[in-house]
Structure 1
Amino acid sequence: MTSVLPVVPTAPDAETAELPAIIGGSVLESDEVSAWFGSHKVLAGISLKMEAGQVTALIGPSGCGKSTFLRILNRMHELVPSASLAGRVLLDDDDIYEPVRRITDTRKRIGMVFQKPNPFPAMSIAENVTAGLKLTGTRVRGGERTALIEECLTKAGLWKEVKDRLNSPGGALSGGQQQRLCIARSLAVRPDVLLMDEPCSALDPTSTRRIEETIHELRREVTIVIVTHNMQQAARVSQTCAFFLAEQGTPGVIVEAGETKKIFSTPEDPRTADYVEGRFG
């Protein structure tokens, strides 16, 4: 069965583009993860391995638990008073939910970029980049701080656009620039994993292309997990893909996961084929 979705050439092809050797990143794995809000079960038995040096795309219709799963991966789920979960989340084989592990340490290693850009409007561009260092108690000296700001903005594809106005408010940037600033802020604490919850949904095509190019470059250094409703984007940026589905009020499950090329060209489950070919969702 062949997908009818075209692969739009707005970013390097995730399957074929040449990429330098992996520098960093960690293996992130969920083991039989289930989740509830109060008595309402929203996820059931989610097991998924997210490899270092790869982009894993989470796809599926709205309401199937993709964003909830993403928040479980860096312990944001537990911020909801009624939330609970079962199962394990392993970062390089260590369970991030073990009682001895501090939440701040987990979020330092597993960063998050949200759907809506959220720079700190009262802070300058430079201050936004280093904001996470204060939260994690990381100290950097003046010269190191300057170099870190340039490094992170460069990795986020923003340095050339803002290098002459680092003291300007971060909130004055365009939407696409703000999203890349948020990526730079996440990178400043040296995460092993970067989670992205529909990072391009509110952006124009040009900004989307820049974000996708940034994702392509970053996977050399961090493991990336992205939630997207854009099937063409999933095909462009990811190497592996997991299709989530919640049917008739049942909790969300993974119907099928594997290499992105296979998921889009020869899926094993007819529900996967129906979704990626646009027959529902």
Structure 2
Amino acid sequence: MQRTSPSTSLAALEGRAVSAWFGSHKVLDRVSLTMPAGAVTALIGPSGCGKSTFLRILNRMHELVPSAALAGEVLLDGEDIYAPSRRLIDARREIGMVFQKPNPFPAMSIYDNVVAGLKLTGKRVSRSEKDGLVESCLSRAGLWKEVKDRLRQPGGGLSGGQQQRLCIARSLAVMPRVLLMDEPCSALDPTSTRRIEETIGELKSEVTIVIVTHNMQQAARVSDFCAFFLAEQGTPGHIVEAGPTTAIFETPQDARTSDYVHGRFG
């Protein structure tokens, strides 16, 4: 099958001096990070150091929490997604999210799950265009061959790993330029994890990927760049060190980075 290529260009994402609060509790302190276009950037670090908060800030999910506040900028190809002129729906369309727990619409068919996001963006497409989009997105998510004969069956009937790949396909359907993934394999078995990792490797030529993971072996396998977050003795989360994954794992500049990636704490 000839896969449909995304019509959008690869985009770099950059956080500049990002700080975040929940009420009076500061959880991130002036985090700056460039996530290169067409690459996988892994956010690593112990629980509670602000990785997932930073990830949610990257597509304006943080502001959904009533007590949440933030400072700094998030630039998508140099334009701040928090600028007053930028609509929330545009940020969500350009920067998709895949969550830790697979969340397909369980009663909705596999087919309808994939195209569900089109309604939210107001994009009108013909039935034939939808058919092509569903096949393309499921193929890119590594799921087409497994579900092509049961597209009208409920998405909730799939295995956990298949549901997560369905969520990836659903995110791809709106043609995002960046895909954020919050521990997408933490609830999956090793075989499903391998399939998701293969999918990530195949997708990075089409979409910029940022992934939060606690699995150091996974970070080493799938990412091109790593950022090590840490929150010490009640201080807000910050980045200790960031750079190419090989450098972070093999020649880290900070002893705390070496201790973490080699399993001495966290």
| Shorter-chain TM band | over 0.9
Q: Which residue of 2 aligns with 1:191?
A: 176
Match of 1:45 in 2: 30
- Equivalent residue number for residue 152 of structure 2: 167
Give the conservation status (yes or no) of the 8 Å contact 1:123–1:169: yes
- Aligned-partner Cα distance in 1 for 2:26–2:214: 22
Q: Runs in 1 of length 4+ with deviation above 6 angstroms?
A: none
Q: Which amino acid aligns with 1:250?
A: T
Residue of 71, 95, 98 corresponding to 1:110: 95
RMSD: 0.7
Contact 1:24 1:220 survives alignment (8 Å): no
Aligned residues: 259
Structure 1 distance, partners of 2:71, 2:128, is: 45
Output one character per residue of 1:85-133: Cα deviation in whole Å (capped at 9) or x when no partner: 0000000000000111110010000000000000001100000000000
TM-score (norm 1): 0.92
Q: Which amino acid aligns with 2:63?
A: E
Identity %: 78
Take 2:93 and 2:226, find their aligned partners in 1: how far apart are those partners?
Answer: 25
Find the residue that maps to 1:243 and give its secondary structure: strand
Name the counterpart of 2:115.
130
Query: Equivalents in 2 of 1:52, 1:101: separation in Å?
Result: 21
The answer to whether residue 222 in structure 2 is matched with residue 242 in structure 1 is no
Q: 1:16: which partner in 2?
A: none
8 Å Cα contact 1:24/1:53 also seen in 2? no
Deviation at 1:138, TM superposition (A): 0.8
Q: Any idea what SS the aligned residue of 2:30 has?
A: strand
Taking the aligned partners of 1:29 and 1:266, their CA distance within structure 2 comes to 24
2:129 aligns to what SS in structure 1? helix
More relative contact order in 1 or in 2 (CA 8 Å, sep 6+)? 1
2:109 and 2:263 map into 1 onto residues whose CA distance is 42
Q: How does the TM-score come out when normalised to structure 2?
A: 0.97
Which of 186, 194, 198 pairs up with 1:201?
186
State the secondary structure of the residue aligned to 1:267.
coil
Q: Per-residue CA shift, 1:191-240, capped at 9, x if unaligned?
A: 00000000000000000000000000000010000000000000000000
Do the aligned partners of 1:24 and 1:52 also contact (CA within 8 Å) in 2?
A: no
Among 201, 210, 217, the alignment partner of 1:225 is: 210
Query: Match for residue 19 of structure 2?
Result: 34
- 98, 119, 124: which one aligns with 2:104: 119
User: What is the distance in 2 between the residues matched to 1:257 and 1:196?
Assistant: 18
